[in-house]
Amino acid sequence: MKLVSAIIKPFKLEEVRSALDEIGVSGMTISEVKGFGRQKGHTELYRGAEYVIDFLPKIKIEIAITDDILDKVTEAIATAASSGKIGDGKIFICPLEQAIRIRTGETDEEAI
């Protein structure tokens, strides 16, 4: 099992969700986060004064999946989240040792 975490631009969330739904991914956790990478933030004007915005709004998607659909999931996220511009995001993949469905007590692949 794997835990896939993806950081994407907020306006790409619906496209990514639709792409994952098409390949059969039924559940995910979404968080509104802030951060920066090579973008280094940006400058905004407010009432004539310049403000540097270091942390940009992003969406973090977390999905617990079985190993057999890992390639499909990463490809779907990368394709749907891509705009071809800096700041499109990142995908992180970590091993998932155990999953437990609290309601039924099911474990591992049955729980996801």
Instruction: Provide the residue ranges of all domains of the chain, joining segments of one domain with +.
Output: 2-110
Tell me the CATH number for domain 2-110. Answer: 3.30.70.120
pTM for the complete prediction?
Answer: 0.84
Instruction: Taking residues 95-102, report their average pLDDT.
Output: 95
For 101-110, the pLDDT digits (tens) are 999 999 999 9
Cα 38 to Cα 30, 49, 55, 59, 89: the distances in Å are 23, 25, 12, 17, 10
Angle, helices 13-22 vs 70-81, to 10°: value is 150
